């Protein structure tokens, strides 16, 4: 799926930095449940907090800040309220909606079951396709990626995803929407 970048030689994601409420619980989940090695820990100057890094594969990292004075997240604003297929997908502009980890297609079903066996609530398998609903009830030729969603202890939406086919020029065909196309959000009373 690699495409050439004529502007910058990017090697993927160095790290994605998220915010957690409890670094010990975050380590227990990402290293203990998902098996990601903790590779770097930092105490921030002035008692501001901590910044820890987990290896999530291929030299990429998932990092977490723990701040002494951070506000709590707001479901439906900071992150989606629930799992796709059984909750809302909506989150605010500037938020991080979810993190998708690439998994081998041949191990997708096994990995979903492993999460279940570890007591993690998971979404139904989502076979993403170009149908009007965007999801097929079963794996078929039009499916381009398979996904299963779950949440970390702070409600961060995570995904195990596997590509099922190579993308082509035909996969880029929609006109991009603009800010003018958005509906105004309801203002709280």
CA-to-CA separations, 163 to 1, 61, 77, 134, in angstroms, rounded:
9, 21, 28, 15
Q: What is the pLDDT of residues 170-181, one digit of tens each?
A: 888 888 888 888
- Encoding tokens for residue 25? 């619980």
Evaluate whether 149 touches 158 at the Cβ level (below 8 Å).
yes
- Residue given tokens 């921030």 in the structure block: 44
Would you say residue 187 has pLDDT above 80?
no
Average model confidence (pLDDT) for the chain?
90
Residue 36 has what pLDDT?
97
Q: What is the pLDDT of residues 24-78, one digit of tens each?
A: 999 999 999 999 999 999 999 999 999 999 999 998 999 999 999 999 988 889 8
For residue 108, the surrounding DSSP H or E stretch is helix 108-117
Would you say residue 103 has pLDDT above 70?
yes
> Whole-model pTM?
0.88
Domains of the chain: 13-70 (3.10.180.10), 83-168 (3.10.180.10)
Q: What is the pLDDT of residues 2-19, one digit of tens each?
A: 678 888 888 888 899 999
- Encoding tokens for residue 26? 């975050």
CA distance 18 to 171: 30
């Amino acid at each position: 799926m690699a495409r050439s970048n004529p502007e910058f030689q990017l090697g993927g994601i160095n790290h994605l930095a998220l915010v957690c409420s409890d670094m010990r619980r975050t380590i227990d989940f990402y290293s203990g449940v998902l098996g990601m090695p903790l590779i770097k820990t930092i105490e921030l100057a002035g008692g501001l907090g901590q910044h820890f890094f987990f290896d999530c594969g291929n030299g990429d990292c998932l990092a977490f800040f723990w701040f002494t004075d951070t506000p709590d997240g707001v479901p439906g604003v900071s992150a989606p309220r629930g799992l796709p297929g059984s909750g809302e997908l909506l989150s605010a502009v500037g938020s991080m909606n979810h993190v998708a980890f690439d998994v081998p297609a041949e191990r997708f079903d096994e990995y979903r079951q492993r999460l279940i066996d570890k007591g993690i609530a998971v979404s139904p398998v989502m076979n993403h396709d170009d149908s009007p609903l965007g999801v097929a009830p079963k794996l078929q030729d039009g499916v381009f990626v398979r996904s299963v969603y779950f949440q970390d202890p702070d409600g961060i939406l995570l995904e195990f995803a596997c590509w099922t086919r190579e993308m082509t020029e035909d996969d880029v065909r929609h006109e991009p929407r603009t800010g003018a196309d958005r509906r105004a959000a309801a203002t709280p009373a």
